[in-house]
Chain A
Amino acid sequence: MSTRLAKGGRLTDRSKQIEFTFNGKRLTGVAGDTLASALLANDQMMMGRSFKYHRPRGVVASGAEEPNALVNLGKGDKHEPNQRATTTELFDGLTATSQNHWPNLDYDIGAVNGLFGRFLTAGFYYKMFIHPRPFWKHLYEPFIRQSAGLGKAPDAEARDPDTYEHFYAFYDVVVVGGGVAGLQAAKAAGESGASVLLMEQTPHWGGRAPVDGGTIDGKPAEDWINDTLQALENMPNVTIRTRMMGAGVYDHGYMLGYERLTDHAPQMPGPRHRLWKIRTKQIITATGAIERPLSFAGNDIPGVVLASAVRDYAVNYGVSVGDRTVVVTNNDDAYRTAIALKNLGMDVPAIIDARHTGGGALMAEAKALGIRVETGRGVAKVLGGKRVKGVMLCNQQGEGATIEEIPCECVAMSGGWSPVVHLWSHCGGKLTWDEEQAFFRPDASRAPTSHDGKPFVAVAGAANGYLQLNDVMQDADAVAKSVASAVGFTATGSAPTAEAQPEAAMEQVWLMPQGASYDLRLKTWLDYQNDVKVSDVQLAAKEGYESVEHTKRYTTLGMATDQGKLSNINGLATLSNALNESIPQVGTTTFRPPYTPISMGAIGGEARGDIFQPIRKTPIHAWHEAHGAAWEPVGQWRRPYCYPRSGESKHDAVTREVNATRQSLGLLDASTLGKIIVKGPDAGKFMDMLYTNMMSTLKPGKCRYGLMCSENGFLSDDGVVARLDEDTFLCHTTTGGADRIHAHMEEWLQTEWWDWQVYTANVTEQWAQFAVVGPNARKVLEKLGGMDLSKENLAFMEWKDGELAGTRARVFRISFSGELSFEVGVPANQGRDFWDKLIEAGAEFNVTPYGTEALHVMRAEKGFIMIGDETDGTVIPQDLGLNWAISKKKEDYIGKRAQQRSHMTDPSRWQLVGLETEDGSVLPDGAYAVASGHNANKQCNTQGRVTSTYYSPTLKKGIAMGLVLNGPDRMGESIPFMCADGETIVRATIVSPVFFDPEGEKQNV
Chain B
Amino acid sequence: MSKPVLPLGGASSQGIVTVAEHGPAGMITLRGDLSSEALIKAVTDLTGAAMPGQRGANTNGDYGLLWMSPDELLILLPYAEADAAVATLDTALAGTHFLAVNVSDARAQFILKGAAVREVIAKIAPVDLSPAAFAPGEVRRTRFAQVAAGFWLADAETAHVFCFRSVAEYMFNTLRAVSVTGSEVGVFTA
Q: What is the bound-complex CA distance between A166 and B187, given in angstroms? A: 14
Given contacts A165-B123, A167-B123, A167-B185, contact A832 B103 (CB under 8 A): no
Neighbour of A681 across the interface among B97, B125, B128, B185, CB < 8 A: B97
Q: What is the bound-complex CA distance between A759 and B106, given in angstroms? A: 18
Q: What is the bound-complex CA distance between A807 and B125, given in angstroms? A: 37
- CB of A606 within 8 A of CB of B174, answer yes
Neighbour of A759 across the interface among B6, B31, B119, B180, CB < 8 A: B31
Counting CB contacts under 8 A, is A830 at the interface? yes
- CB of B6 within 8 A of CB of A829, answer yes
Counting CB contacts under 8 A, is B63 at the interface? no
Given contacts A607-B146, A761-B31, contact A270 B181 (CB under 8 A): yes
- CB of B119 within 8 A of CB of A680, answer no
Query: How many residues of chain B have a CB within 8 Å of chain A?
Result: 55
Q: Within the complex, what minimum Cβ distance (angstroms) separates A601 from chain B? A: 13
Counting CB contacts under 8 A, is A764 at the interface? yes
A168 cross-chain contacts in B, Cβ below 8 A? 122-123, 125-129
Kindly report which residue of chain B lies nearest to residue A612, judged by CB atoms: B146
Counting CB contacts under 8 A, is A115 at the interface? no
- CB of A617 within 8 A of CB of B103, answer no
Counting CB contacts under 8 A, is A170 at the interface? yes
Given contacts A166-B123, A167-B123, A681-B97, contact A614 B170 (CB under 8 A): yes
Q: What is the bound-complex CA distance between A614 and B148, given in angstroms? A: 11
Neighbour of B1 across the interface among A279, A767, A806, CB < 8 A: A806
Q: Within the complex, what minimum Cβ distance (angstroms) separates A668 from chain B? A: 17
A614 cross-chain contacts in B, Cβ below 8 A? 145-147, 167, 170
B184 cross-chain contacts in A, Cβ below 8 A? 270
- CB of B170 within 8 A of CB of A806, answer no
Interface string of A865-887 (1 = CB under 8 A from B): 00000000000000000000000
- CB of A269 within 8 A of CB of B2, answer no
A829 cross-chain contacts in B, Cβ below 8 A? 4-6, 24, 104-105
Q: Within the complex, what minimum Cβ distance (angstroms) separates B16 from chain A? A: 9
Q: What is the bound-complex CA distance between A760 and B72, given in angstroms? A: 11
Kindly report which residue of chain A lies nearest to residue B170, judged by CB atoms: A614
Counting CB contacts under 8 A, is B99 at the interface? yes
Neighbour of B5 across the interface among A270, A761, A767, A830, CB < 8 A: A830
A767 cross-chain contacts in B, Cβ below 8 A? 105
- CB of B31 within 8 A of CB of A637, answer no
Neighbour of A270 across the interface among B107, B125, B130, B183, CB < 8 A: B183
Q: What is the bound-complex CA distance between A163 and B180, given in angstroms? A: 10
Q: What is the bound-complex CA distance between A618 and B169, given in angstroms? A: 11
In B148-178, the 8 Å CB interface with A consists of 164-170, 173-174, 177-178
- CB of B105 within 8 A of CB of A239, answer no
Counting CB contacts under 8 A, is A357 at the interface? no
Neighbour of B166 across the interface among A268, A611, A616, CB < 8 A: A616
B32 cross-chain contacts in A, Cβ below 8 A? 759
Q: What is the bound-complex CA distance between A833 and B1, given in angstroms? A: 10
- CB of A269 within 8 A of CB of B181, answer yes
Q: What is the bound-complex CA distance between A190 and B54, given in angstroms? A: 31
B99 cross-chain contacts in A, Cβ below 8 A? 677, 679-680, 759-761
Interface string of B22-39 (1 = CB under 8 A from A): 001000010110000000
Neighbour of B124 across the interface among A166, A807, A831, A833, CB < 8 A: A166
Specify which of B31, B166, B173, B174 lies most central, judged by the most chain A CB atoms within 10 Å of its CB. B166
In A419-475, the 8 Å CB interface with B consists of none
Q: Within the complex, what minimum Cβ distance (angstroms) separates B95 from chain A? A: 10
B107 cross-chain contacts in A, Cβ below 8 A? 765
- CB of A827 within 8 A of CB of B4, answer yes
- CB of B169 within 8 A of CB of A617, answer yes
Kindly report which residue of chain A lies nearest to residue B128, judged by CB atoms: A170
Q: What is the bound-complex CA distance between A607 and B123, given in angstroms? A: 12
Neighbour of B103 across the interface among A239, A279, A760, A763, CB < 8 A: A763
Counting CB contacts under 8 A, is A651 at the interface? no
- CB of B106 within 8 A of CB of A828, answer yes
Q: What is the bound-complex CA distance between A757 and B182, given in angstroms? A: 52
- CB of A606 within 8 A of CB of B127, answer no
A759 cross-chain contacts in B, Cβ below 8 A? 31-32, 71, 97-99
Counting CB contacts under 8 A, is A104 at the interface? no
Neighbour of A169 across the interface among B7, B168, B187, CB < 8 A: B187
Neighbour of A619 across the interface among B24, B97, B165, CB < 8 A: B165
Q: Within the complex, what minimum Cβ distance (angstroms) separates A128 from chain B? A: 47
- CB of A277 within 8 A of CB of B165, answer no
- CB of B145 within 8 A of CB of A611, answer yes
Counting CB contacts under 8 A, is A906 at the interface? no
Kindly report which residue of chain A lies nearest to residue B31, judged by CB atoms: A759
Counting CB contacts under 8 A, is A299 at the interface? no
B185 cross-chain contacts in A, Cβ below 8 A? 167, 274
Q: What is the bound-complex CA distance between A411 and B177, given in angstroms? A: 50
A679 cross-chain contacts in B, Cβ below 8 A? 99
B124 cross-chain contacts in A, Cβ below 8 A? 166, 606
In B89-119, the 8 Å CB interface with A consists of 97-99, 101-107, 119
Specify which of B103, B119, B146, B185 lies most central, judged by the most chain A CB atoms within 10 Å of its CB. B185
B166 cross-chain contacts in A, Cβ below 8 A? 616-618, 637, 765
B187 cross-chain contacts in A, Cβ below 8 A? 169, 239
Q: What is the bound-complex CA distance between A533 and B56, given in angstroms? A: 64
Given contacts A613-B146, A677-B99, contact A619 B31 (CB under 8 A): no
- CB of A761 within 8 A of CB of B165, answer no
- CB of B178 within 8 A of CB of A165, answer yes
Counting CB contacts under 8 A, is A808 at the interface? yes
B173 cross-chain contacts in A, Cβ below 8 A? 610-611
In A194-208, the 8 Å CB interface with B consists of 195
Q: What is the bound-complex CA distance between A763 and B106, given in angstroms? A: 7
Given contacts A166-B123, A168-B125, A170-B133, contact A832 B174 (CB under 8 A): no
B165 cross-chain contacts in A, Cβ below 8 A? 619, 765, 828
Q: What is the bound-complex CA distance between A611 and B145, given in angstroms? A: 9
Q: Within the complex, what minimum Cβ distance (angstroms) separates A25 from chain B? A: 32
Q: Within the complex, what minimum Cβ distance (angstroms) separates A834 from chain B? A: 8
Kindly report which residue of chain A lies nearest to residue B167, judged by CB atoms: A614
Counting CB contacts under 8 A, is A615 at the interface? yes
Q: Within the complex, what minimum Cβ distance (angstroms) separates A124 from chain B? A: 46
Counting CB contacts under 8 A, is A766 at the interface? yes
In A571-616, the 8 Å CB interface with B consists of 605-607, 610-611, 613-616
In A221-240, the 8 Å CB interface with B consists of 239
Q: Within the complex, what minimum Cβ distance (angstroms) separates B133 from chain A? A: 7
Given contacts A170-B130, A677-B101, contact A616 B106 (CB under 8 A): no
Counting CB contacts under 8 A, is A271 at the interface? yes
5 A-B pairs with C-beta separation under 8 A: A165-B183, A606-B124, A607-B146, A677-B99, A828-B165
User: Which B residues contact A (CB, under 8 angstroms)?
Assistant: 1-2, 4-7, 24, 29, 31-32, 71, 83, 97-99, 101-107, 119, 122-130, 132-133, 145-147, 164-170, 173-174, 177-178, 180-185, 187
User: Which A residues contact B (CB, under 8 angstroms)?
Assistant: 163, 165-170, 195, 239, 268-271, 274, 277, 279, 605-607, 610-611, 613-619, 637, 677, 679-681, 757, 759-761, 763-767, 806-808, 827-833
